């Protein structure tokens, strides 16, 4: 069988790629090792509860994600206003992150010294180290208490990672550019907000979203548009081989060996899967491309009686700074953000453990993890065990790639490998951002690039 493009991996990146390429008239096949499409995105529905195994919320942060919904003819569900309230844990209490100048001055989360220091942030000199860590840039510009009680929990919430280890220009490129381009986070944000925007730019917002029935709705819409016949699930032992200027992709499906041919192959798999998939890449290049730490994450979906949650906790959720020495990284309240996530009188929680902070928790038994969750919910939110009506544990060994200093070498090597092997694209969240909107933007950009290159080739 011959295809214009073979996409490997049917997570959000691979499916978005296939969809955008099909829209441009390409004949595409997606090969996925699991028996379902969606990758990290996986929504469960049970006894009136809707809960996620992977991501719970995204941000409509670029036009590409907004346009994907338009093209799929479905609507994102934007989070309730309650989601604007975000809690941070300090000294056995939860505090809302400040939302204005008065709450900023009053909050006990940050020291008075740092509150004063922030007024002088626009006058702090630009950093000169391109590999400066997130913790270092934040401490230099806004103060250590902001690192401890805003940046640290924020990075834990996004990357399940450590701000001391993440490199700002790769992990938070927008923040890095604010300093480099405008010389200030505060001044830069203000100037950026006043820059003229075209109609397309305006599609990017800060709105938090999910799908109608969780992210499963987005995956379902993608699968339906792409066509189930164009997605091969359960494709095992996939190997890509170069045969003159084409790629031969072999795999086993139901114990029958299959072979597809194409001039274009796009991988959207994680770094851990690349060596087996692309055996023709030199060991040195492969080592550089896959030199990547992953945060292991345990996500626990919990259903509780609504009356057991004090109204003061009604919010997007709460994050726990490392300094507080707790076992949990944070808790989200999806049913306070999105409708129909729990039956009347109940609520859903998504609880995160592990990450780079507590990797040892990943290997604990379900029994021990359950005990930790019960204890922590009681201690942190006064939710008694008797109010917990269900609890599901999901382990993600390769949950979130950490964009550390090795990212520069990884990106350069990917560029070299793509140049050495024309028609091969290395996509996925090993580059270009880990967020949902980042995944869709990468897919859109690669589809554009591939179609443009093909057109130039034939001129």
Ligand X SMILES: Cc1cc2nc3c(=O)[nH]c(=O)nc-3n(C[C@H](O)[C@H](O)[C@H](O)COP(=O)(O)OP(=O)(O)OC[C@H]3O[C@@H](n4cnc5c(N)ncnc54)[C@H](O)[C@@H]3O)c2cc1C
- Near ligand X by CB under 6 A: residue from 60, 266, 297, 347: 297
- What is the tally of helices (H) and strands (E) in the chain? 17, 22
Q: Does 55 bind ligand X (CB under 6 A)?
A: yes
Shortest reach from residue 59's CB to ligand X, in Å: 7
Question: CB-wise, 387 or 446, nearer to ligand X?
Answer: 446
Q: Which two tokens stand for residue 431?
A: 């580059």
User: Distance of CA 382 to CAs 48, 49, 345, Å?
Assistant: 24, 22, 17
Number of residues that bind ligand X (CB under 6 A): 37
Stretch that binds ligand X, among 49-57, 65-73, 135-143, 257-265 (CB under 6 A): 49-57
Stretch that binds ligand X, among 26-34, 91-99, 186-194, 206-214 (CB under 6 A): 26-34
Shortest reach from residue 386's CB to ligand X, in Å: 28
Q: Does 161 bind ligand X (CB under 6 A)?
A: no
Shortest reach from residue 105's CB to ligand X, in Å: 31
Residue 209 neighbours by CB under 8 Å, 6+ apart = 57, 58, 59, 60, 76, 77, 78, 79
Residue 113 neighbours by CB under 8 Å, 6+ apart = 143, 145
Count of Cβ atoms closer than 10 Å to residue 371 Cβ: 13
Q: Does 211 bind ligand X (CB under 6 A)?
A: no
Name residue, tokens 């990290």: 40
Q: Which two tokens stand for residue 181?
A: 């381009």
- The residues pairing with 267 across neighbouring beta strands, listed in sequence order, are 8, 426
Question: CB-wise, 33 or 288, nearer to ligand X?
Answer: 33
Shortest reach from residue 66's CB to ligand X, in Å: 14
Q: Does 58 bind ligand X (CB under 6 A)?
A: yes
Alpha-carbon distance of 55 to 264, in angstroms, equals: 30
Q: Write the DSSP string, 115-168.
A: HHHHHTGGGSPPP--TT-BHHHHHHHHH-HHHIIIIIHHHHHHHHSS-TTTSBH
Handedness of CA 58, 63, 64, 66 (dihedral sign): positive
Question: CB-wise, 156 or 268, nearer to ligand X?
Answer: 268
Q: What order do you get walking across the sheet with 208-210 strand by strand?
A: 58-59, 208-210, 77-78
Q: Does 54 bind ligand X (CB under 6 A)?
A: yes
User: Distance of CA 329 to CAs 4, 51, 69, 304, 338, Å?
Assistant: 44, 19, 31, 19, 22
Question: CB-wise, 40 or 142, nearer to ligand X?
Answer: 40
Q: Mask: binding to ligand X, 298-337, rule CB under 6 A, as x and -?
A: -x--------------------------------------
Question: CB-wise, 165 or 296, nearer to ligand X?
Answer: 296
Q: Does 231 bind ligand X (CB under 6 A)?
A: no
Stretch that binds ligand X, among 27-35, 169-177, 309-317, 417-425 (CB under 6 A): 27-35
In terms of Cα–Cα distance, which of 289, 294, 273 is closest to 421? Answer: 289
Q: Does 14 bind ligand X (CB under 6 A)?
A: yes
Residue 38 is classified by DSSP as B
Stretch that binds ligand X, among 72-80, 129-137, 435-443, 445-453 (CB under 6 A): 435-443
Phi and psi (nearest 5°) for 143?
A: 110, 155
Q: Are 41 and 12 in contact (CB under 8 A)?
A: yes
Shortest reach from residue 429's CB to ligand X, in Å: 4
**Residues 238 to 267 in contact with ligand X, rule: CB under 6 A:** 238
- Near ligand X by CB under 6 A: residue from 399, 414, 440, 446: 399
Q: Mask: binding to ligand X, 414-433, rule CB under 6 A, as x and -?
A: --------------xx----
Q: Does 380 bind ligand X (CB under 6 A)?
A: no
Question: CB-wise, 439 or 441, nearer to ligand X?
Answer: 439
Q: Does 28 bind ligand X (CB under 6 A)?
A: no
Can you give the binding site for ligand X, defined by CB under 6 A? Answer: 8-14, 31-34, 39-41, 54-58, 235, 238, 268-270, 273, 277, 297, 299, 396, 399-400, 428-429, 434-436, 439
């Amino acid at each position: 069988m011959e295809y214009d493009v073979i996409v490997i991996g049917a997570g959000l990146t691979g499916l978005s790629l296939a969809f955008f390429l099909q829209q441009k008239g390409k004949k595409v096949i997606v090969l996925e090792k699991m028996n379902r499409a969606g990758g990290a995105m996986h929504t469960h529905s049970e006894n009136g509860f809707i809960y996620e195994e992977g991501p719970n919320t995204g941000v409509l942060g670029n036009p590409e994600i907004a346009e994907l919904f338009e093209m799929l003819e479905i609507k994102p569900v934007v989070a309730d206003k309650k989601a604007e309230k975000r809690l941070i844990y300090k000294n056995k209490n939860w505090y809302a992150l400040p939302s204005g100048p008065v709450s900023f001055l009053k909050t006990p989360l940050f020291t008075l010294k740092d509150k004063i220091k922030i007024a002088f942030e626009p006058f702090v000199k630009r950093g000169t180290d391109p590999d400066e860590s997130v913790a270092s840039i934040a401490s230099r510009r806004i103060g250590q208490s902001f690192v401890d009680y805003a940046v640290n929990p924020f990075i834990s919430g996004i990357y399940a990672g450590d701000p001391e280890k993440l490199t700002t220009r790769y992990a938070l490129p927008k923040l890095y550019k604010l300093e480099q381009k405008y010389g200030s986070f505060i001044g830069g944000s203000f100037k950026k907000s006043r820059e003229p925007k075209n109609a397309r730019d305006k599609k990017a917002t800060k709105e938090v979203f999910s799908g109608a029935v969780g992210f499963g709705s987005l995956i379902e819409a993608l699968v339906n548009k792409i066509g189930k016949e164009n997605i091969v699930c359960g494709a095992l032992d996939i190997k890509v081989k170069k045969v003159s200027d084409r790629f031969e992709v072999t795999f086993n499906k139901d114990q029958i060996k299959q072979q597809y041919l194409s001039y274009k192959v796009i991988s959207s798999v994680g770094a851990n899967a690349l060596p087996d998939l692309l055996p023709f890449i030199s060991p040195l290049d492969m080592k550089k491309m896959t030199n990547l730490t992953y945060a292991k994450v345990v996500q626990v979906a919990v259903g509780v009686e609504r009356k057991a949650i004090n109204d003061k906790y009604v919010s997007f959720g709460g994050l726990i700074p490392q300094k507080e020495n707790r076992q949990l990284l944070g808790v989200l309240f999806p049913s306070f953000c999105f409708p129909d996530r729990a039956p009347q009188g109940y609520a859903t929680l998504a609880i995160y453990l592990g990450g780079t902070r507590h990797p040892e928790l990943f290997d604990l038994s379900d029994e021990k993890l359950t005990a930790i969750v019960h204890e922590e919910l009681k201690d942190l939110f006064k939710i008694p065990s008797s109010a917990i009506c269900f609890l599901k544990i999901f382990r993600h060994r390769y949950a979130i790639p950490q964009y550390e200093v090795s990212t520069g070498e990884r990106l350069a090597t990917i560029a070299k490998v793509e140049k050495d092997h024309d028609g091969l694209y290395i996509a996925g969240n090993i580059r270009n951002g880990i967020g949902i909107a980042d995944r869709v933007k990468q897919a859109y950009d690669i589809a554009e690039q591939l179609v443009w290159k093909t057109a130039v080739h034939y001129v």
